[in-house]
Chain A
Amino acid sequence: MNDKPAILELRNVNKSFGPIDVLHDISLRVRAGEVLCLLGDNGAGKSTLIKTLAGVHKPTSGEILMDGQPVTFSGPSDAQGRGIATVHQFGGTFPLMSIGRSFFVGVEPTKGWGPFRIYDRKRANEIAVKAVRDFGITRIDDGDRLVGGLSGGERQSLAIARAVYFGARVLILDEPTAALGVKQASHVLRIVNEAKRRGLAVVFITHQVMHAMTVGDHFAVLIRGAIAADFRRGEKSREEITDLMAGGETMADLEAQVEGYMETHQGHPPPAKVLEGPAAQ
């Protein structure tokens, strides 16, 4: 798998907004049929990195390569045109539109001619429903239903199916499971696996380590805009990853502190306030 050429690659990318450096020297590669999990706490620079991949921001320095060729995205639609699709946390952004209509926004199928060229509702609904059912979401069967009435997982699935239908090669999923319940999240994870099986390169952004470990092949932990760790599946345990995300040793410190307290207090855990701030020591 390592031998496959990367579809999308970042080489020593830096991004600063005025005097504020947000991304430092990021190098990443995503291959076809592989899920790259980007882990990081809030404020680690994940969204800036996504936006750089999606063509919203241009890197201050460093280069982006697609299929080994350096590219510059002129904007999000340019990146989309090259097959990079971003699916945001809440999936469909048009809650009051029907499944068929929102699936084809901007590229509506039409029939007839001239001034009587009308939107082909039946065909749009059929294609949309088939695309999402092919991903295993069999509960969607009526293209006239409004997107806002779907569950969070179904909406994500619809958005992913839409991206794949329109020829995405790289799928950027921005916290797809963050707002979902356990069952809904597992639906989405299954769809991520299906996209991977179809040979898409997936960038999966999350701070839920369990979800990342379920689907990820390759992991990168982002701390304060720099890649703090870069490893492959099975090389690190869940605890190690959580520790990394929380900024290195802090979790371990906290655990040691709790254990120390328990030893001196007949095995009772400390009351919450003891652990607050440096005064606790």
Chain B
Amino acid sequence: MMDAIKSVLRRPEAGSILSLVGVVLFFVLFGGANLGTLVGAASWVNFAANLGIVAIPVGLLMISGELDISIGALIPAGSMTTAILAGYYGLPISVAIAGTLAVGVAVGLVNGLLTIRTSVPSLIITLATLVAMQGVVLSASVLLTGTASVALTAPDWAKFLFGQLIGGSHQVIIVWWVAFAAVIGFVLHKTRYGNWLFAMGGDKVSARNAGIPTNRMTIALFVLSAVSATFVGMCQAILFNSAQVSGGMNFIFNAIVSVVVGGVLLTGGFGSVLGIFVGTVTFAIVSQGIYFTQIDRNWSSLIIGVMLLMAVLMNQSFRDLALYFRPRRNRSLPREPANP
């Protein structure tokens, strides 16, 4: 039993699972929240799904030693592209979807190419593309449509796939999120590509010398994160039948907090998709679940701050636990004589 607990604690997601349990317990015991109502509520799950689809590729980038904050501008860029193409110009929704994802691919390529071609940290590069894309979205929207908010009506099949409310409350993007997490989790932990990512985060030069196509991997990751962000924007536009140029900036910090609470090492080389998933759920419960408690919602940021700090400290000690772990059975054996 103790061994089972210890083997869970050594995993990257240990801190996030404990944070989740802690936050839920806190809300139930001190906030007077009803556990059943909290779990059944759609608000935090919707929030988590939108955030989670962005948080997963941000987490992958962090594992590989990079950072992407341009997602903040790409969510409104995605919803505006969909709305302008399908709503303002009346093009088929499939063209709008393709155009939206193409915007993601283009920005992701720019981020990736700049990162591998220059020695500028990707934080600065994506900060630049973040600000630049905000400008592009606003100017293009005003120039093309004369307004900063565009309406659209999506056909039923697009509504069904990207914008329906399951049971009248749960956004269909939740399904996309869970499926995306499952696929990425498989790739990261079960295939050789996952191993390459961890190696890149550990030491990029050694990884390249070992024959890993680090440049192609980096570009692919930036494209994945940019496309995921535009996908979230597109789903929101289809769901709400409209798009605005503002919004999305909160996603930057929210995604990074979710990823770090989820046990990903900020400097790369360590983390798990399950951890990012649970970190996102924890974050969503703190920021949305607080409405189900008697705690004033203005405290939620304080709770997130404290939780972030505690999760990072916990992750630190769990990582040490993993590093210096040796199986118990060896300790009981007499030490073997060293061979000559």
A105 contacts which of B191, B212, B338 (Cβ < 8 Å)? B212
Q: Check: A83 CB closer than 8 A to any chain B CB.
A: no
Q: Check: B117 CB closer than 8 A to any chain A CB.
A: no
Complex Cα spacing A94 to B270, Å: 10
Q: Check: B277 CB closer than 8 A to any chain A CB.
A: no
The segment from A136-144, A212-220, A266-274 that touches chain B is A136-144
Measured between beta carbons, the chain B residues less than 8 angstroms from A259 are none
B338–A142 CB distance below 8 A: no
B211–A148 CB distance below 8 A: no
The segment from B34-42, B52-60, B299-307, B319-327 that touches chain A is B319-327
Minimum CB–CB distance from B328 to chain A (whole Å) comes to 11
Measured between beta carbons, the chain B residues less than 8 angstroms from A141 are 327, 330
Minimum CB–CB distance from B317 to chain A (whole Å) comes to 14
Measured between beta carbons, the chain B residues less than 8 angstroms from A148 are 323
Complex Cα spacing A94 to B323, Å: 12
**Contact A96/B319 with A76-B209, A139-B336, A149-B324 known, Cβ cut-off 8 Å:** yes
Measured between beta carbons, the chain B residues less than 8 angstroms from A105 are 195-196, 199, 206-207, 210, 212
**B179-214 vs A, Cβ < 8 Å mask (1 yes, 0 no):** 000000000001110111011001100110111100
- Chain A interface mostly: loop
Q: Check: A4 CB closer than 8 A to any chain B CB.
A: no
Q: Check: B73 CB closer than 8 A to any chain A CB.
A: no
Q: Check: A119 CB closer than 8 A to any chain B CB.
A: yes
B336 contacts which of A76, A97, A138 (Cβ < 8 Å)? A138
Q: Check: A106 CB closer than 8 A to any chain B CB.
A: yes
Measured between beta carbons, the chain B residues less than 8 angstroms from A149 are 322-326
Measured between beta carbons, the chain A residues less than 8 angstroms from B209 are 76-77, 80
Q: Check: B255 CB closer than 8 A to any chain A CB.
A: no
Measured between beta carbons, the chain A residues less than 8 angstroms from B191 are 110, 117-119
**Contact A138/B199 with A105-B212, A119-B190 known, Cβ cut-off 8 Å:** no
Measured between beta carbons, the chain A residues less than 8 angstroms from B168 are none
B338–A138 CB distance below 8 A: yes
Minimum CB–CB distance from B78 to chain A (whole Å) comes to 27
Q: Check: A70 CB closer than 8 A to any chain B CB.
A: no
B202–A96 CB distance below 8 A: yes
B199–A102 CB distance below 8 A: yes
B203–A146 CB distance below 8 A: no
Q: Check: B167 CB closer than 8 A to any chain A CB.
A: no
Measured between beta carbons, the chain A residues less than 8 angstroms from B270 are 96
Complex Cα spacing A148 to B324, Å: 8
Minimum CB–CB distance from A63 to chain B (whole Å) comes to 24
A146–B322 CB distance below 8 A: yes
**B242-285 vs A, Cβ < 8 Å mask (1 yes, 0 no):** 00000000000000000000000100011000000000000000
Measured between beta carbons, the chain B residues less than 8 angstroms from A187 are 338
Complex Cα spacing A136 to B337, Å: 10
Complex Cα spacing A2 to B231, Å: 68
Q: Check: B340 CB closer than 8 A to any chain A CB.
A: yes
Complex Cα spacing A11 to B203, Å: 34
- The residue among A97, A104, A107, A187 with the most chain B CB atoms within 10 A of its own CB is A97
Q: Check: B339 CB closer than 8 A to any chain A CB.
A: yes
Complex Cα spacing A178 to B325, Å: 26
A118–B340 CB distance below 8 A: no
**A151-189 vs B, Cβ < 8 Å mask (1 yes, 0 no):** 000000000000000000000000000000000000100
Q: Check: A29 CB closer than 8 A to any chain B CB.
A: no
Q: Check: A108 CB closer than 8 A to any chain B CB.
A: yes
Minimum CB–CB distance from A248 to chain B (whole Å) comes to 37
Chain A residue with the shortest CB-CB distance to B319:
A96
**Contact A136/B192 with A97-B199, A97-B202 known, Cβ cut-off 8 Å:** no
Interface residues in A92-115 by Cβ distance below 8 A to B read: 93-97, 101-102, 104-108, 110
- The residue among B192, B269, B322, B327 with the most chain A CB atoms within 10 A of its own CB is B192
Chain B residue with the shortest CB-CB distance to A118:
B190
A97–B198 CB distance below 8 A: yes
Complex Cα spacing A142 to B322, Å: 13
Q: Check: A190 CB closer than 8 A to any chain B CB.
A: yes
Interface residues in A119-155 by Cβ distance below 8 A to B read: 119, 136, 138-139, 141-142, 145-146, 148-149
B198–A108 CB distance below 8 A: no
B211–A77 CB distance below 8 A: yes
**Contact A108/B269 with A94-B199, A96-B202 known, Cβ cut-off 8 Å:** no
Chain B contact residues, CB within 8 Å of chain A:
190-192, 194-196, 198-199, 202-203, 206-207, 209-212, 265, 269-270, 319, 322-327, 330, 335-336, 338-340
Q: A94-B199, A149-B326, A187-B338 are in contact. List 13 more A-B contacts (CB 8 A).
A: A93-B203, A93-B206, A96-B202, A105-B210, A105-B212, A106-B211, A107-B210, A110-B191, A119-B194, A136-B340, A142-B326, A145-B326, A149-B324
**Sampled A-B contacts (19; CB under 8 Å):** A94-B269, A96-B269, A97-B269, A101-B198, A105-B206, A105-B210, A106-B207, A107-B211, A110-B191, A117-B192, A119-B190, A119-B191, A138-B339, A139-B335, A141-B330, A142-B330, A146-B325, A149-B322, A149-B325
